[in-house]
Structure 1
Amino acid sequence: MPRGRPLARVLPLLLCVLLSACGTAGAPRGDTAERAVRQAVADWSRTPPGRLSGIPLEGWSYEVGPVRRDGARAATVRAELRYRLAGYDSAPAGSARELSLAEEGGRWRVTADRPAPGALPQLWDQGAVTAARGAHSLVLGGEGQSPGTLAAIAAEADRAVPAVSSAWPRAWAGRVVVLVPGSLERMAGLLGRPADAYRGLGAVTTGQVGPGPAPADRVVVNPEAYPELSEQGRRIVLTHEVTHVATRAATSATTPLWLSEGFADWAAYRDSSTTPAQGAPALARAVRRGELPAGLPATEDFAFGGDPEAAARAYEGAWLACRLIAEKWGEAGLVRLYEAAGREPLPNALAQTLGTDLDTLTRTWRESLRGELG
């Protein structure tokens, strides 16, 4: 993510739900009350909450775990919620839930459905959800977000998707889901970190990396910082984040963070006239002070919630490294390097795709920084 927008590679988040039969753990199946409780959960799953109206659901399902009786007329159920956004999710996502039930007049019914202890909430746990659709995007707004705001973000996402497809000429879904929580605090709640960790960031991306179907790639917009960006800033932010969605399957634990973040910035700036000095002001200041980086940014350099100037230098340096590779070895070479670096160690990937080594790349990058920013 540009300028201190770390990729949250974690935690499929959000909303909506997919329905099927209940599971089997818990008390003996012969227990009549337990069977009635499980049936009540199945009945509950057939009708999405009203706050999800307008969301393109394919259904939802709860896989019920243990049933705990809380007296003769109350019970608590742990369940795994499975859900899919129709047309957007390639695989079901999961959410750990805790349901409370009560027996009234000989019938069990669900009285509460909430995140299980320690589990992250879904957007719909925070209130009513509103949807806006674009040609390549689905924007889901939390409570308090206006239809106009969501429509504008959908239009911006629609511009980002083709730009990303041009920069990343590999197969990907070509569509994106964007979440706009009702506040910074609610954004932090969805992501499971303190609000200060995201203050000032325009957006982050969540999802699982690696090949194969993965549920719930989401771009999560900071409802406080994003509106403060210029039109170009919003375009850069969304294009960067959508790039992370597009390259997810080619990204793995072996992909250097400077390459994944730098590639996303390269894709975002690719069609702009932004110069290195304009796009890398923090790094330019450091180079002019004689503080030329000794090496390509390390993983810890991208930490957010710390020194924002240091994080900015890391993102800027990563962008300029990928920009250099695209100019010297061609855009196709940069794409091939990204793919190879997700499969094997970087030295091997560099040798196979660019015919160079890390020392040579680092030296060339440092020379370019001195020439362009000094």
Structure 2
Amino acid sequence: MKLFSDAKKKSEPEAAHKAKKGAGQSIMVISPDKEMLSDICSLLLINNFNNVISHPLDFFALQDDSILRGAATVIIDIGSCNDVTLICETATLLIPASARQVFLGRNDSIAFAQALMSAGVCYLHIQSQLAQLAGQLQQPDSALAMRSMMKISLLGCKGGAGTTTVAWQLFQAIGMQTSIPSLLVQGASGSRDLDLITSRTLPRDGAITAMGPHQSARIEPLNAAWTYEDSHFNAFNLVMFDHGVYSQPYEHLETVFTHSSTLILVVNRDLSALRVAKYLLDEKQRVDLSRGGKELRVFICLNENHPAHGDELRNDDIEQYLGCPLAVINPWNVKKNQPLSATPLWRFAAQSLLGKAEPEAAKRRLFSLFTLRPDRNS
């Protein structure tokens, strides 16, 4: 039943302009079912919710997250999807941390709804609970702090391996491909030279500095090292940590493994770096057993921080020693003039961290393990 015909419908390319114009208090409704989209908008309008903007789109196939920028509330029809991990991770990568989110679906399982609730996601069964939507939107925003965020830890396995450079390039690549609020934290365990690499003045007292419209950076203070839980992090969907673990007590690893959703081990071709990485992989397997079946994702990044030598370890040697593939190789570039968008780190950020699907794929699958390995075996 369509009670109102003036709910605004915008195509995906047009929505970015509308999001800016209606910023702040806009309610975004996304559903691939146009009839359901009309019913949801009618329900909102009859309950005096204004500035409702609807999009006839599949949330899981959405590639342009700019349509959600500035939304105060996002209402998503997830249909019959019952993959809690996919739902939560897609929401983290698309919906700004400042926005209230409500998911509507056709799965009437109590366990499914409770699993989403545990992740800070409000879920309503669309056939029996749609009438409760208005009441949910009138609830206080205290649940926002419970929302899960993506925490990625880059662990440098050798001094001078270029971990901070890799972290900054990955962070830039993420910022150029998505508009979700993100934060880069350089840990007190490393070189603390993020200001030199970024050519920006960064305070060393832990203050967060804006690096762009949706990205910020922080140098961790010495008296608060290895901090993964901070109320200031709640403003961000993604927090990336840059730590050096080659000279640190291994008791810190428990903190890193417990609070991270993804690990990126940064190595070079030195055996000393690979030994540290091997130890981390062994510890990761042990921690996986205590995480209740939730496996910690890990990628190996080979950063070639010097020209090739004839006697260095080959790619196959490294993979055999570590017992896992190289996820991405950042090649040595003596000219340093290659655009970031043409680098393996860019593709790694897009495919493995942001879940950007190939053009022919119908759905995004987040954190899939893609192997990006140029053929350097010298």
Query: With structure 2 as the length reference, what TM-score do the two structures score?
Result: 0.27
Q: Which has the higher contact order (CA 8 A, sep 6+)?
A: 1
Higher helix share: 1
